[in-house]
């Protein structure tokens, strides 16, 4: 299992488009992906679960991956969040 904390940088936070991007990347990998915010852990391969987190700009998230390709998945997901989902 690998995990990393990231800060949401884009102005609008994780709304439908960033959530879709996140799930699209997470679903490419066979490992389990979880996102944790304020003690709430959700499935990182579910758009609705990510939206429930209401992660606004400045929110601290932990991305946790567990499985055979966990390192690659974590790196790509961290890059997505730290890159502001290509917004701003």
- How does pLDDT run across 7-23, given as a tens digit for each residue? 999 999 999 999 999 99
Give the pLDDT of residue 87.
84
Catalytic residue status for 30: no
| Torsion angles phi and psi, residue 15, rounded to 5 | -105, -165
Provide mean pLDDT across the span 82-87: 91
pLDDT (tens digit, 9 = 90+) per residue, 19-77?
Answer: 999 999 999 999 999 999 999 999 999 999 999 999 999 999 999 999 999 999 999 99
Reported pTM:
0.94
Side-by-side strand order, sheet with 32-37: 2-7, 60-66, 32-37, 40-43
Set 15, 42, 66, 78: catalytic member:
15
- Local structure of 36: helix, strand or coil: strand
């Amino acid at each position: 299992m690998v995990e990393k904390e990231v800060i949401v940088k884009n102005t609008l936070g994780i709304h439908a488009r960033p959530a879709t991007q996140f799930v699209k990347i997470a679903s490419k990998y066979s490992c389990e992906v979880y996102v944790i915010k304020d003690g709430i852990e959700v499935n990182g391969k579910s758009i609705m679960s990510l939206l429930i987190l209401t992660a606004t700009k400045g929110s601290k998230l932990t991305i946790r991956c567990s499985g055979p390709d966990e390192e690659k998945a974590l790196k790509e997901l961290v890059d997505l969040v730290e890159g502001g989902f290509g917004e701003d």
